[in-house]
Amino acid sequence: ARPRVGYYYTGKAGAEIPLEQLKNIRVKDYQSIPVVVKESDSVYDAISTMFLEDVGTIFVLDAKSNLAGVLSRKDLLRASLGNQELESMPVSIIMTRMPNITVCYKDDLMIEVCKRLIEKQIDALPVVNRKSPREFEVIGRITKTTTTKLLVDLVNRDLPLKEEKYD
């Protein structure tokens, strides 16, 4: 259908994703709502919350609502193995504690957060707002689902794949 005359670029090598675009995508553009429990909540509560909200990682808040810890499915699975006291065991016993938590900020670049997820071998990290040197408010979450969505959006939103359209 295309004319075979004149100066004409086939477009094959021309379809490109501007790197500038990826470099400008920040955490705040992609973060989702954090799922939290209190430090005094039981392991049983945390497991219920995990199933109810269908998330892989839960953040734990202290009495002042600041970030105190993180619970992964792995932490909860380990705790539940052969344990009868899940309802009386507080999550504070099994959580990963501050300051051993990898966090990110709303203005961080998504690509940098992707690297952090890979390097630290974690599935999710909290988006925090630093209120004081030791007080972090949890305002969002970034997971490997977020980063997978970003990759799909990058291709879909701006430059749909031909395979998708015509297959």
Chain contacts with a second copy (rule: CB under 8 A)? 12-13, 15-20, 22-23, 47, 50-51, 54, 56, 73-74, 76-78, 80-82, 86, 109, 111-112, 114-115, 117-118, 121, 123, 143-145, 147-152, 155, 159, 161, 163-164
What's the Rg (C-alpha) of the chain? 21
Query: CB-wise, 6 or 22, nearer to a second copy?
Result: 22
Nearer to a second copy, 46 or 103 (CB): 46
Tell me how far, at minimum, the Cβ of 154 lies from a second copy, in Å.
Answer: 8
Closest CB to a second copy among 122 and 139? 122
At residue 166, what are phi and psi to the nearest 5 degrees? Answer: -110, -5
Length of the chain: 167
In angstroms, what is the minimal distance from the CB of 7 to a second copy?
A: 19
Considering the complex, state which of residue 18 and residue 40 has its C-beta at the smaller distance from a second copy. 18
Sign, Cα dihedral of 155, 158, 159, 163: positive
Tokens found for residue 109:
């670049």
Phi/psi for 19 (5° steps) reads -65, -30
In whole angstroms, the minimum distance from the beta carbon of 141 to a second copy comes to: 14
Distance of CA 91 to the CA centre of its chain: 21
State which residue, 48 or 66, has the beta carbon closest to a second copy: 48
Minimum separation from the CB atom of position 26 to a second copy (A): 12
* Sheet (strand 67-72) strand order: 36-38, 57-61, 67-72, 96-97
